[in-house]
Amino acid sequence: MRTAEQERLTVTAESPPLNAQQVGQSGETVVFLHGLFGQGKNFTQIAKALSPELRSILIDLPNHGGSEWTERFDYLEQADLVADQLRSTVASDGPVHLVGHSMGGKVAMVLALRHPELISRLAVVDISPVARESMGEFDHLIGTLSRLDLADLSSRGEADQMLQEPIPERMVRGFLLQSLVRDGDSFRWRVNLDLLHESLPEIGGFPEFTDEQFEGPVLWIAGAESDYVQDEFAAAMRQLFPRVSLTTIKDAGHWVHAEKPEVFTAVLKSFFTAE
């Protein structure tokens, strides 16, 4: 496992920027990092609700959406890629706020620890800085998507029907199918399924940190029906983020922002606009 002390990734002039879109024109800047299988646009509804008080930047992480695919998955490298883009764009005049959900929450935590000068306030959504024992759910999802025959697919609706038995949850299917796009006369995935499938142990893990801490305010948001944030993870969170506070959203699972968007938005707005 790579440690946080290893050299950060050097991004050359030839390195493509991460795909991003802006929502809102005024207020302090909030950067959103999505979870596994997601895209920056997953936070569009939230970003619109935060405007005009806050301006949002929705980033596609590597191997997702409109961003480039990589040859391996590494949280340190992903955090450094995002940091370099922020440093040359929205954080060039000062630190920004950062939100990360699930896998994106781990990227966000690593970024704040390695590049604290870029981040003012951090919101970590339904994820903890620990290794997850099992990634079986995601192994099932990726395997199911990989087996979908795109060559004979006529529409996204047909894909939804084909996925109903192996993935019965309608919201989950809808979320996954956002990455299925038409490409000429056929369809393709805007997510690097092969790399992500083989990298599930790395995605479920978390880099090892020793002396690093992020001293800024941190909001730890948990879904009450999710098991990604547990009492026994609090010590690891406080060790890295001493100014952390936990907010649990009732009747929400892992996809807190999609299941309870109004409550989620209110919690973020209160945190990022606090004096």
Residues classed as catalytic: 102, 194, 254
Which 8-state DSSP code applies to residue 65?
A: T
**Any idea of the CA torsion for 16, 142, 259, 95, to the nearest 10 degrees?**
-20
Contact predicate 171/258, CB 8 Å? yes
Tokens 């922002």 map to which residue?
Answer: 257
| Contact partners, residue 216, CB within 8 Å, separation at least 6 | 112, 116, 119, 120, 121, 122, 243
User: Environment class of residue 246 by beta-carbon count within 10 Å: exposed (0-12), middle (13-18) or buried (19+)?
Assistant: middle
Q: Which helix (H) or strand (E) holds 32?
A: strand 28-33
Q: Where are any strands of DSSP class E within 34-179?
A: 54-59, 96-101, 119-125
Residues in the chain: 275
Measured from the Cβ of residue 89, the count of other Cβ atoms closer than 10 Å reads 16
Distance between CA 120 and CA 112 in Å, rounded?
Answer: 9
- Per-residue tokens: 76: 């340190």
Number of H helices, E strands in the chain: 11, 9
